[in-house]
Each structure stands twice: as structure tokens, then as C-alpha cells.
């Protein structure tokens, strides 16, 4: 063995902060405020404020590894917290503002958060959260321009305690930089702690041309909340490459988003399918209204219907399907066509783009069936297991959850998948959502995507409901596009083209809206509760 001659240079977020200001001082950060006006400043302003936050937190008594919670929408101050807290040796703990106050309190308590930084427009929520947890100090970001009420402190006053003389602590790359709890779609929230190293490597991997291709020439918008799996790492990668960043604040509706994309000339945006479904509908209704750049739109968090990729191609907007979890920082797989696939028939190309994709460099994937690693044949189903430098190896403070990890060092995702011979993984379902009918499995994901490909259907979600004879049978909840409606027979006929008869839902329930999780995904648990007393015909 011979030792390398390379320097020992830690991979920390502080490096990204310094590089950004040194090379891209003029890059802009634009945020939508509650009054819908746009707040804008440059990387220089951001850099100074993030470092002031670091210094003032240290003055306030923050020590290495202390958690500072954030309860915020996506905007400049959240970005300051993303970098300022770890710069001081602290850990940014993003709290999900869409959860029930009791759950937020549980999570903050479990994480042992010392301080809280919060948007002023969220103070009513904070007051409810405070019934279940105490923070040493609470700093309020004034997005409305109003000074915070007496019982709270002002974030600006905190920053004003900084002198501007601040040296980064000597951080090791494996120290914690951030933490996030899973949104609890399938169980109690579980905490994941991210290291500086994981965040930096994740930023590199997501910037690759075959992932999201981030460049300093980009204008990026994380529509995905910054409290949801690090805003998919977009703010970190954007800072690393020096891209302009545009934040939607509390306005995530199609009108406001498209207006922002147009005004700020956005070239990359990331969000869950429900966001893009809404945007596609508005574009279809008013195709001429918005003058957009060609935008790369990363979509993940739930499966994307193939028809949606086609719709956006029609508008010269490119949907890029990716897969990830809170536990995987989150980006772990992305579906891009390989060079030799350009000559495939169009339908096949869309099938591939609608899969969840191939693992990004340094993430390894396998599918396991009854403890056997299965072949990549695109047919056999197994549980997806992953490992890599930004995949969590445990949950914070939860020894009992070791069953989520295999003895040979892989993380068990709970997703059921196939992997084809080219390495493209396709999610069949979450283990808990697979429908078992007469001893055979039915994929709810395949059914709902096929339904959403019907021109009159806006949203669809399929669940298994207990059945006296078949164990479970699928029931589809469907939302029609505005002013449209089709019969149950037509929906069934539409599915008959693609699926065998026993896969077809036994009933279609027409809803005004599918219940959503805090991350904007369809919430099957709520749907199951709504339909639990379903009466089957004799």
C-alpha cells in the first residue's frame, strides 16, 4: 500500500458559501413575499447575512451540533438558515409547516431543537406548536415588514448583534449539517441527519449533466418546500454552481408559479407531480398566456403519469423524472434516455422516461425478493434497497428501527420495484399500497397513472379495500378536469386497453379533490379512511 499525496480537504458547506461569493457576487436571489412583491438581493448580501447569522447564533450560545429549527416557506431567509446554521457548527432542522401542530411539537422535541427561526406569517401555527414543546429562543423573520409581537425576538435584531468578524469553526466533513424528519406518509416521522460530506457529494451528483445539469447560467426554483428533504438539495447545488435562485414563498398555485417562471426567466424547477399536474392544466387552458424559457422540470416524490411528460414536451418543457426519499438526501435515481435509445419508437421512449430511472453515481440499487437479490429483467418485483454516501445508515435516536437496514449494509426503502436490463428502476408500489387480490398483486401506481392519462381526468388515486372474497379489491378515486366528465364505463374501457380484467377497479368514486399529504402527494391513508366502510354488492 502507498499513501496518496493528496491533501486532506474536508467537504463542507462553508466551502460552497465562500466560492459563491468569490466567483458569483452578482448572482441574484429572488423571493416572493406574502404581499406578492418580489424581494431581491445578491449573493454578496446573502453571504454577509448567512455569516452574520452564524456569528450571532454563536453569540447566543449555540455550540457544535446544536439543532436550530426552521419553520419557513421557501425564501431568502430560509436559504440563510440553510447555510448560516451549519457555518456556526449547528444543525439546520427544517420543520414541516403542513403537519399538525402536535406532530411538529413531537418532532422538535425528539430532535432536541434549541432555537427556532420562523416566518412571521406562521406565528399562529407556532403558538399552537408551543403547547407541546419549548424552544430556548424564537427568532421571527419579518416577511410582512411588521415588528414581531413582544413574546418573540426579531431575526433582524439577532443578525444586528454580529460584528462581521467571524471565523468558521474547524468542521470535519462527517459532522451533522442538517436534519429532516420523513413526512410520515406511511408511519410515525423518523429523523435523518445529513453530514456536510453527504450534502456536498449530493450537490455534485445532482449537478451532473445526466442528473439535473445545474450550471451558473441557470435560474432555479425549488417549488418543493425547503422543509421537504432539503428542497431536494436544489439550493445547495445552485449555490455550488453559482446559479440565480428564485423562491416562490407561500405561493405554490399554478398562476403564481407560472408568473414567477415567466418574470424571472426560470430554467429549472423541482416539484411533486401534483404541482405539475396543476401547471399543465393551466397551460392547456391558456397556452399563449405565459412566455416561458425552455424549463427543465424535475418531478419526483410520487410517480409521474406518462401523459404528463408528453403534455410538457408539447409545450417545449422537459419533465425529468427522479426518485428519492428523505433518507436518501433525496436524489438517488433519475430517468434520462441513453444515447442508443434515441432510435426507439416514441412510445417506448416515453415508457422509459416515466420509469424512476437509473441510480446516480455512487448510489447502488438492488431489488430483493424474499431475501434474494433478483435479476434485472424488468419483470420480477422486489423491494428496492439502496446504499451510498448520502443514504442514511440509521434513524436519529431510534435503535428499534434497525429493521429498516439489512445486515449487509443496505437501506430498505419499502418501495416495490422492477429493474430492467438497462438498469432502469420502476416503482410498482409502496409495500403498504400494493393491492393483494386473490393472492396476486395489483399495482395501484400503474392504474392511477393510466387513469391520469385519460384526457378528461385531472387526478386519480387507487387503493385496495378489504373484500370478503378476494382479500382486497382496487377502488379508484377520480377527479375530473374542470367542466369535464366521463362515465364509469368509459373509464373502465380506457383501462381495459392496458390491463387484464382482474386488475380493473371494482368501483370509481368521483371526488372534488384527492386528499394530499403535507408534501403535496396523494394521501392514501386519508382516502382509505374515507372508504373503509365500503359496502360490496353481494
Residues lying near ligand ADP in the complex (CB under 6 A): 182-186, 229, 300-303, 321, 323-326, 356, 413-415, 427, 430, 519, 521
Q: Which residues of 216-245 are buried (b: 16+ CB within 10 A; e: fewer)?
A: eebbbbbbbbbbbbbbbbbbbbbbbbbbbb
* Residue 330 preceded by cis peptide, ω within 30: yes
Please enumerate in sequence order all residues whose Cβ is within 8 A of that of 245, keeping only pairs 6 or more positions apart, or say none.
27, 28, 29, 30, 79, 219, 220, 221, 235, 238, 239
Cβ contact 258:290 at 8 Å: yes
Catalytic residue among 182, 185, 221, 392: 182
Nearest CA-CA partner of 111 in 158, 43, 181, 55:
181
Q: Which three cell numbers stand for residue 147?
A: 415588528
Q: Which is nearer to ligand ADP, 86 or 271 (CB)?
A: 271
Strands (E), 121-256: 137-141, 153-154, 176-181, 191-195, 219-222, 244-247
Catalytic residue among 28, 59, 156, 441: 441
Active site residue 410: no
Q: Which is nearer to ligand ADP, 185 or 267 (CB)?
A: 185
Q: Which three cell numbers stand for residue 117?
A: 427561526
Catalytic residue among 380, 432, 436, 525: 436
Q: Which residues of 127-160 are buried (b: 16+ CB within 10 A; e: fewer)?
A: eebbeebebeebbbbebeeeebeeebeebeebbe
Q: Which is nearer to ligand ADP, 256 or 394 (CB)?
A: 394
Q: Which is nearer to ligand ADP, 57 or 97 (CB)?
A: 97
- Residue number with the smallest Cβ distance to ligand ADP: 185
Active site residue 327: yes
Q: Which is nearer to ligand ADP, 60 or 297 (CB)?
A: 297
Q: Which is nearer to ligand ADP, 29 or 514 (CB)?
A: 514
User: From CA 25, how far away is CA 22, in angstroms rounded?
Assistant: 6
Q: Which is nearer to ligand ADP, 49 or 202 (CB)?
A: 202
DSSP annotation of 516 reads B
Q: Which is nearer to ligand ADP, 254 or 414 (CB)?
A: 414
Nearest distance from residue 324's CB to ligand ADP, in Å? 6
User: From CA 255, how far away is CA 257, in angstroms rounded?
Assistant: 6
Backbone φ and ψ of 442, nearest 5°: -120, 135
Active site residue 80: no
By three-state DSSP, how is residue 260 classified? helix
Tell me which residue has cell 426518485. Answer: 323
Nearest distance from residue 57's CB to ligand ADP, in Å? 28
Q: Which is nearer to ligand ADP, 13 or 303 (CB)?
A: 303
Long-range contacts, 399-402 (Cβ 8 Å, 24+):
401/190
User: From CA 467, how far away is CA 97, in angstroms rounded?
Assistant: 37
Cβ contact 525:494 at 8 Å: no
User: From CA 447, how far away is CA 433, in angstroms rounded?
Assistant: 12
Name the helix (H) or strand (E) containing 484: none
Nearest distance from residue 87's CB to ligand ADP, in Å? 26
DSSP annotation of 149 reads P
Nearest distance from residue 421's CB to ligand ADP, in Å? 20
Nearest distance from residue 328's CB to ligand ADP, in Å? 8
Q: What is the 3-state secondary structure (H, E, C) of 457-468?
A: EEEEEEEEEEEC
Active site residues: 182, 327, 436, 441
Amino acid at each position: 500500500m502507498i499513501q496518496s499525496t493528496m491533501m486532506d480537504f474536508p467537504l463542507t458547506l462553508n466551502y460552497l458559501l465562500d466560492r459563491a461569493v468569490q466567483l458569483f457576487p452578482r448572482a441574484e436571489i429572488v423571493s416572493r413575499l406574502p404581499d406578492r412583491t418580489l424581494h431581491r438581493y445578491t449573493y454578496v448580501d446573502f453571504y454577509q447575512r448567512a455569516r452574520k447569522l452564524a456569528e450571532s447564533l454563536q453569540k447566543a450560545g449555540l455550540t457544535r451540533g446544536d439543532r436550530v429549527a426552521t419553520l419557513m416557506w421557501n425564501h431568502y431567509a430560509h436559504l440563510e438558515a440553510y447555510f448560516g446554521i451549519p457555518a456556526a457548527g449547528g444543525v439546520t432542522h427544517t420543520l414541516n409547516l403542513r403537519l399538525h401542530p402536535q406532530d411538529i411539537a413531537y418532532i422538535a422535541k425528539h430532535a432536541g431543537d434549541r432555537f427556532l427561526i420562523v416566518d412571521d406569517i406562521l406565528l399562529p401555527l407556532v403558538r399552537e406548536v408551543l403547547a407541546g414543546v419549548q424552544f430556548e429562543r424564537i427568532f421571527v423573520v419579518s416577511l410582512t415588514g411588521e415588528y414581531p409581537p413582544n413574546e418573540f425576538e426579531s431575526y433582524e435584531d439577532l443578525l444586528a448583534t454580529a460584528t462581521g468578524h467571524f471565523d468558521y469553526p474547524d468542521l470535519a466533513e462527517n459532522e451533522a449539517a442538517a436534519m429532516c424528519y420523513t413526512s410520515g406518509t406511511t408511519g410515525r416521522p423518523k429523523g435523518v441527519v445529513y453530514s456536510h460530506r453527504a450534502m456536498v457529494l449530493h450537490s455534485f451528483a445532482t449537478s451532473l449533466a445526466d442528473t439535473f445539469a445545474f450550471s451558473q447560467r441557470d435560474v432555479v426554483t425549488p417549488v418543493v418546500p425547503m422543509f421537504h428533504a432539503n428542497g431536494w438539495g436544489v439550493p445547495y447545488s445552485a449555490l455550488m454552481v453559482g446559479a440565480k435562485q428564485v423562491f416562490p414563498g407561500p405561493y405554490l398555485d399554478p398562476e403564481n408559479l407560472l408568473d414567477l417562471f415567466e418574470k424571472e426567466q426560470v430554467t429549472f424547477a423541482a416539484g411533486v407531480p401534483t404541482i405539475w399536474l396543476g401547471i399543465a392544466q393551466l397551460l392547456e387552458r391558456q397556452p399563449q398566456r405565459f412566455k416561458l424559457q425552455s424549463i427543465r422540470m424535475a418531478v419526483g416524490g410520487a410517480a409521474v403519469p406518462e401523459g404528463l411528460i408528453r403534455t410538457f414536451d408539447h409545450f417545449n418543457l422537459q419533465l425529468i423524472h427522479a426518485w428519492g426519499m428523505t433518507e436518501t438526501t433525496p436524489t438517488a435515481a433519475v430517468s434520462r434516455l441513453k444515447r442508443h435509445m434515441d432510435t426507439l419508437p416514441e412510445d417506448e421512449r416515453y415508457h422509459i422516461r416515466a420509469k424512476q430511472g437509473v441510480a446516480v453515481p455512487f448510489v447502488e440499487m438492488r431489488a430483493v425478493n424474499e431475501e434474494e437479490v433478483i435479476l434485472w429483467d424488468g419483470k420480477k418485483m422486489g423491494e428496492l434497497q439502496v446504499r451510498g454516501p448520502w443514504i442514511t445508515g440509521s434513524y436519529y435516536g431510534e435503535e428499534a428501527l434497525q429493521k429498516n437496514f439489512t445486515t449487509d449494509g443496505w437501506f430498505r426503502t419499502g418501495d416495490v420495484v422492477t429493474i430492467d436490463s438497462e438498469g432502469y428502476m420502476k416503482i410498482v408500489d409502496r409495500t403498504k399500497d400494493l393491492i393483494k387480490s386473490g393472492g396476486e398483486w395489483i399495482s395501484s401506481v400503474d392504474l392511477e397513472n393510466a387513469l391520469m392519462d385519460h384526457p378528461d381526468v385531472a387526478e386519480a388515486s387507487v387503493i385496495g379495500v378489504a373484500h370478503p372474497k378476494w382479500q382486497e379489491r382496487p377502488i379508484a378515486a377520480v377527479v375530473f378536469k374542470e367542466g369535464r366528465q366521463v362515465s364509469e364505463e368509459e373509464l373502465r374501457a380506457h383501462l381495459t386497453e392496458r390491463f387484464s380484467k382482474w386488475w380493473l377497479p371494482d368501483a370509481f368514486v368521483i371526488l372534488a379533490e384527492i386528499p394530499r399529504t403535507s408534501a403535496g402527494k396523494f394521501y392514501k391513508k386519508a382516502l382509505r379512511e374515507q372508504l373503509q366502510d365500503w359496502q360490496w354488492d353481494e
